[in-house]
């Protein structure tokens, strides 16, 4: 049986007419509408289609972005899902393709395929306490989910957002974290590995925040995104607090090339991260998640 492409799993699918959107598998040309410098090596690009619209993305999904003449890389959505007219991607410079993408200026063009993959379980989490755990750039794939949660706050119980980064100057979306913290209807805690003289918050790794966070572990769902080591320790801390394995979700990162489960680059045990993830329920991958070499 051929793999199922999850690019069709987008919000509002039942309300759209056939042919309204471009095929996610077919590359399209997008133009950079806005470019924002987030960190020394990280920018956010708002991109709009030159022609044709693509399916709106579920929080947690990704696009394949193509720097013309250089190559293609997967990049998660990082914008507000309510803005269906544009895709927003937060990109860190780590290689030739990402370097070319972060250097694009407004008006420049790039290729786009997608959206692809399984996103965060927004509807399934309705009514539960929600714990969002992010490390470093891992906040970017969770950011659309946070927007969706805050826009529909009454659907959830307690909402706890825990974020960690190496140093205060490496804090992604710092102003937004401050704004979310001032809402009073959610708990936001931030920690850094290494503080400077101006830092007055928590110091330490983000999994350490889980033990003292206020939520009902018996009815909580947890979403985690960040470096794999951080996710392992976060899963352990959540389980120690009593969160069930089937209520923990992690966003995996692998070298995705085709985005539809054909090439095998992102194989993770019997699963393919591009097709079966990147968001995966922990109990379905627990055995392989413990194997660091896989």
Which is it for the CA torsion 216, 252, 141, 229, positive or negative?
positive
Q: Which residues contact 200 (CB under 8 A, 6 or more apart)?
A: none
Q: Mind spelling out the 3-state secondary structure of 223-286?
A: EEECCHHHHHHHHHHHHHHCCCHHHEEEECCCCCCCCCCCCCCCEECCEEHHHHCEEEEHHHHH
Tens-place pLDDT, residues 109-125 = 999 999 999 999 998 89
CA angle centred on 85, ends 81 and 91, rounded to 5°? 65
- pLDDT beneath 50: ranges in the chain: 1-18
Separation of alpha carbons 58 and 114, rounded Å: 11
Q: What is the pTM of this model?
A: 0.91
Separation of alpha carbons 77 and 212, rounded Å: 30
Domain with CATH 2.40.30.10 in the chain: 6-116
Can you give the pLDDT at residue 19?
63
Other Cβ atoms closer than 10 A to 275: 22
Can you give the pLDDT at residue 55?
87
DSSP H helices, 79-206, are 96-102, 139-151, 174-181
CA angle centred on 255, ends 31 and 37, rounded to 5°? 40
Residues β-bridged to residue 77: 89
Say how many CA atoms lie within 13 Å of 231 toward its Cβ: 26
Nearest residue to 12 via CA among 44, 69, 54: 54
Separation of alpha carbons 117 and 129, rounded Å: 25
Q: What are φ and ψ of residue 29, in 5° steps?
A: -100, 130
Tens-place pLDDT, residues 29-46 = 999 999 999 999 999 999
Can you give the pLDDT at residue 8?
37
Nearest residue to 181 via CA among 206, 208, 163: 163
Tens-place pLDDT, residues 171-188 = 999 999 999 999 999 999
Tens-place pLDDT, residues 134-146 = 999 999 999 999 9
Domain with CATH 3.40.50.80 in the chain: 129-251
Q: In 3-state terms, what secondary structure has residue 93?
A: coil
Can you give the pLDDT at residue 13?
34
Can you give the pLDDT at residue 255?
81
CATH class of residue range 6-116:
mainly beta
Fold of 129-251: Rossmann fold (3.40.50)
């Amino acid at each position: 049986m051929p793999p199922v492409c999850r690019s069709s799993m987008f919000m509002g699918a039942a309300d759209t007419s056939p042919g309204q959107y471009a095929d996610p598998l077919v590359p399209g040309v997008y133009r950079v509408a806005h470019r924002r410098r987030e960190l020394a090596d990280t920018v956010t690009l708002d991109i709009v289609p030159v022609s044709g619209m693509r399916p709106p993305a579920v929080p947690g999904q990704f696009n394949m972005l193509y720097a013309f003449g250089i190559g293609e890389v997967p990049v998660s959505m990082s914008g507000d899902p309510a803005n269906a007219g544009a895709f927003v991607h937060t990109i860190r410079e780590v290689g030739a393709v990402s370097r070319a993408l972060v250097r694009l200026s407004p008006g420049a063009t790039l290729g786009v395929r997608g959206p692809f993959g399984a996103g965060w379980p927004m509807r399934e989490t309705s009514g539960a306490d929600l714990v969002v755990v992010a490390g470093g750039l891992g906040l970017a794939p969770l950011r659309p989910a946070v927007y969706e949660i805050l826009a529909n706050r009454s659907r959830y119980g307690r909402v706890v957002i825990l974020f960690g980064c190496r140093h205060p100057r490496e804090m992604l979306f710092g102003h937004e974290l401050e704004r979310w913290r001032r809402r009073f209807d959610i708990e936001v805690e931030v920690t850094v590995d290494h503080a400077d003289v101006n830092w007055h918050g928590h110091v330490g790794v983000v999994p350490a925040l889980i033990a003292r966070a206020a939520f009902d572990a018996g009815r909580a769902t947890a979403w985690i995104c960040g470096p794999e080591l951080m996710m392992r320790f976060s899963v352990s801390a959540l389980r120690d607090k009593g969160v069930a394995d089937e209520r923990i979700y992690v966003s995996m990162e692998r070298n995705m090339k085709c985005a539809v489960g054909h090439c095998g680059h992102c194989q993770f045990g019997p699963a393919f991260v591009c097709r079966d993830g990147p968001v995966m329920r922990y109990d379905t991958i627990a055995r392989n998640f413990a194997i660091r070499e896989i």
